[in-house]
Every structure is written in structure tokens, then in C-alpha cells.
Amino acid sequence: MSENLLRGFAQNKLAKLKSQHLRRTLVETVRSSNGKVRQNSRELISFSCNDYLGLSQHPNIIKASQEATYKYGVGSGGSRLVSGNNPLNTQLESSLAKLKGTEDAVVFGSGYLANIGVIPALVGRKDLILIDELSHACLFTGATLANSHIIRFNHNDTSEVSMHLAKHRKSYQHCLVLTDGVFSMDGDLAPILELNNLCERYQAWLMTDDAHGLGVIENGRGSSFINGSAIPVPLQVGTLSKAVGAYGGYLCANADITELMRNRARSLLYATALPPGNLAAAIAALKIIETNVKLTNKPLSLAKRFATILGLKPPESPIVPIRLGDVERTLKASKQLKDRGFLVVAIRPPTVPEGTARLRCTFSASHTETQVDLFAKAVKKVLADQ
């Protein structure tokens, strides 16, 4: 009886989503090394993948992962605090800190786990969080878990941040300002230098999430760099699951903060450590990112090439959104592009705000210029025919 009620509950929710064109389905997808994927026995060129450097398919990285798996086994066997702290964790943390120019880094199970662990370990009930309205979902989850007073500010609006700090900062003990470094659905960069200066002025702490910056912005160093020099952002979160091509998350910060996380971040304390093969893969990938400027610059240069052909504004990252607004129209464009051999997923609310459904195109070092040109031509045709 209650089993039937439960089923009915799910069916009602799903029917409602379907009527709004917001029902999603998982599509089996097999990726290969040249920007191509196979879906339902069809081969497509994918412009919907975050493996910006193709490193998930890199032979040396696969080999590093295999060797560590043979040496240490598949799973890590426990939380890092219990028995899961394989020495590869420390090695990976040193590589991350070196690449980012921070004193230390601490590795988490994923980017999502990093954000929901770090934020509540820093602020609580007596504190204030200012968060960019377009920040990734897991920053909002972390902020909610912290139980702090939360103010959302308009996207990239530093004058609004300044106004809130002037008005509210003194009523709270600590203040954390949260933003994506590269916005995951829009591809634009946060005004990190200005935000960091404001935070300095008001004794607030800036935390940026560089999930889409590491490996592809500023010779791979990420969005907290400008013309080769580091902005001293005190809290830099990111993922090992995108350009790094593996899985996991991290916080780069000073050594006292990372030590605090090893003591207080619940998603680190109470979750199993990353598998050794994955840690070894991330270490090998960071070595490539550190040295191969030609590779790390390629995704953005392909994105610019695409934007030029379509007459879009020059992108700041390898993410190029084509906003169509209407959900049905966006789904139709995505389907028509699939018919032409290109995978580009329609992004709909609640992932993006109401009325801003879009095709989110991402460019990777695995793409060729010819593939990008063909894709641009197809997008032009599909949009013209709508």
C-alpha cells in the first residue's frame, strides 16, 4: 500500500516535469579519444563534454592509473582519516599547490564534496555569505548547510557586493564571498581581482570555484591568474573531473586552512578517500597541464574560432552558450544538430534561470579545426531554419 503511494508520488512528479518539457533521461554514451561519442549505435562529434584537454583518454594517464591500481588495489578502503590516506593524496596536494602557487592544497572526493565540506567548516550561524546568483548548485548547497545569512548578488555585480559589504558586514562575525571563477553555463569569468580587493577592504574571505578554469585558462593555471600573475584568492576550490580528466575535488589555501579541513570538513572526514588509480591519474594529468601550453591554450582558441564564425561575442573560456530562451526551441535545435551528427545538449531550468534555456557548447583540445568549422556551419543552418 505505502509502496504504491510512493510510486504514485514519483509518477506525479515526473508527469509534471514532462508537461513542462523538463523531464530528463539518461542516454547511454560511449566516449572515445577524438571528440567523438557513440549513442544508440550512432557516432556523434560531441560539443557537450568537460574533458577539455582530452586527458581522460591520454595513454600515459591511463597507464599511471593502471599501475597505481595494480600496486594499491581498486578502492581506498576508508576515509583519509582512518586508513585511506594513500601517499598519492599528499603527492597530488603538492602538485595542486605548486600549479596554483598556494601554500597547500587538500583533496576531496569530488568538487561537489569539496564545496559542501569547505563552506560549513568556515562559516556558521553568526556569519554572512554573499553568493553570485549564477554560482554552481553545490556552492548553494554548501551555503545552505552552513546556516549562515545568505545574500545572492546579481551576476558579476561588484558594486552590489560593495554595497552589501558596506551595509551588512559589521553585523556578522565572518563573511564569505562565493563565486564560480568561470561560470559553468555562461562561460564568462568572475571579476576576481575586484572581488578580492573588496574582500580585503571589508575583511571578508573570497572563495572561487575554478572547476572550468583549471587546465584551460591562463596556461592552465586557472581563473585566479591575470597575465601570468596570481591574484591572492585565499580559498580556491576546484575539480579534478573536468580538464584534469579524472575525478575528485580540491581546495587550495594556506596550510592552516587545509589542516582545519582535514579536521572539520565533514565530506572529507566521513567519506571514503579517492581510489589510488584516480589519484595517480590526476597527478600525471597535472604534470601535462603544468608544461604543455600548446595543449592548455587550444580549447579557448577553438571556442574563439567558433564564436567568430557565428558572430558571437569573443568567449573568455571554452564554454560558449547559445541562448535560445524557450525550452522547446532549445530541445528542437539540439535534436536537429544530433540529426546532423553533433552532440550538444540543451540546458534547461533549473540548471539555468527560467527563460534562458540554451545550447551549451564546450570545446576541447581533442577537436580539430575542421570539426569546429563543420559544427559552426551546422549551428548556423539549424538556427536559420528555426
Q: Which of 58, 100, 136, 164 binds ligand PLP (CB under 6 A)?
A: 136
Instruction: Identify which of residues 93 and 180 has a Cβ nearer to ligand PLP in the complex.
Output: 180
Instruction: Identify which of residues 317 and 371 has a Cβ nearer to ligand PLP in the complex.
Output: 317
| Shortest reach from residue 35's CB to ligand PLP, in Å | 20
C-alpha cell at 4: 504504491
- Would you state the torsion angle of the CA atoms of residues 128, 130, 133, 135, taken in this order, to the nearest 10 degrees? -100
Instruction: Identify which of residues 344 and 382 has a Cβ nearer to ligand PLP in the complex.
Output: 344
Instruction: Identify which of residues 107 and 333 has a Cβ nearer to ligand PLP in the complex.
Output: 107
| Shortest reach from residue 50's CB to ligand PLP, in Å | 7
Instruction: Identify which of residues 359 and 378 has a Cβ nearer to ligand PLP in the complex.
Output: 359
| Shortest reach from residue 12's CB to ligand PLP, in Å | 30
Instruction: Provide the mask over 46-85, with x wherever binding to ligand PLP is found by CB under 6 A and - wherever it is not.
Output: ----------------------------------------
C-alpha cell at 199: 574582500
Instruction: Identify which of residues 84 and 181 has a Cβ nearer to ligand PLP in the complex.
Output: 181
**Using CA atoms, how far apart are residues 362 and 186, in angstroms rounded to an integer?**
11
**Total chain residues near ligand PLP (CB under 6 A):** 13
* Residue 140 near ligand PLP by CB under 6 A: no
Instruction: Identify which of residues 202 and 242 has a Cβ nearer to ligand PLP in the complex.
Output: 242
Q: In which residue are the cell numbers 597535472 written?
A: 286
* Residue 267 near ligand PLP by CB under 6 A: no
DSSP 159-196: HHHHHHHHHHGGGSS-EEEEEESB-TTT-PBP-HHHHH
Instruction: Identify which of residues 54 and 213 has a Cβ nearer to ligand PLP in the complex.
Output: 213
Residue 45 sits at φ, ψ, to 5 deg, of -90, 125
In sequence order, the 6+-apart residues with CB closer than 8 A to the CB of 36 are 43, 44, 45, 46
Residue with nearest beta carbon to ligand PLP: 111
**Using CA atoms, how far apart are residues 282 and 241, in angstroms rounded to an integer?**
9
Burial label, 119 (beta-carbon count in 10 A; 0-12, 13-18, 19+): buried
**Using CA atoms, how far apart are residues 244 and 260, in angstroms rounded to an integer?**
26
Q: Which of 249, 276, 277, 318 binds ligand PLP (CB under 6 A)?
A: 249
| Shortest reach from residue 246's CB to ligand PLP, in Å | 10
DSSP 277-297: HHHHHHHHHHHHHHH-HHHHH
Q: Nearest-5° angle of CA 21, CA 25, CA 27?
A: 135
Instruction: Provide the mask over 227-246, with x wherever binding to ligand PLP is found by CB under 6 A and - wherever it is not.
Output: ------------x-x-----
| Shortest reach from residue 241's CB to ligand PLP, in Å | 4
Q: Which of 58, 80, 164, 212 binds ligand PLP (CB under 6 A)?
A: 212
Among 246, 275, 243, 244, smallest CA distance to 362 is for 243
CB distance 21 to 348 below 8 Å: yes
Per DSSP (E only), the strands in 29-122 are 29-31, 36-39, 42-46, 104-108
User: Is the alpha carbon torsion for 289, 291, 292, 294 positive or negative?
Assistant: positive
CB distance 72 to 276 below 8 Å: yes
Q: Which of 104, 132, 209, 218 binds ligand PLP (CB under 6 A)?
A: 209
| Shortest reach from residue 270's CB to ligand PLP, in Å | 17
Query: How many residues belong to the chain?
Result: 386
Classified as helix, coil or strand, 30 is strand
* Span 149-208, contacts to ligand PLP by CB under 6 A: 180, 184
Instruction: Provide the mask over 95-134, with x wherever binding to ligand PLP is found by CB under 6 A and - wherever it is not.
Output: ---------------xxx----------------------
* Residue 138 near ligand PLP by CB under 6 A: yes
User: Terminal CA-to-CA distance of the chain, rounded, Å?
Assistant: 48
The residues binding ligand PLP (CB under 6 A) are 110-112, 136, 138, 180, 184, 209, 211-212, 239, 241, 249
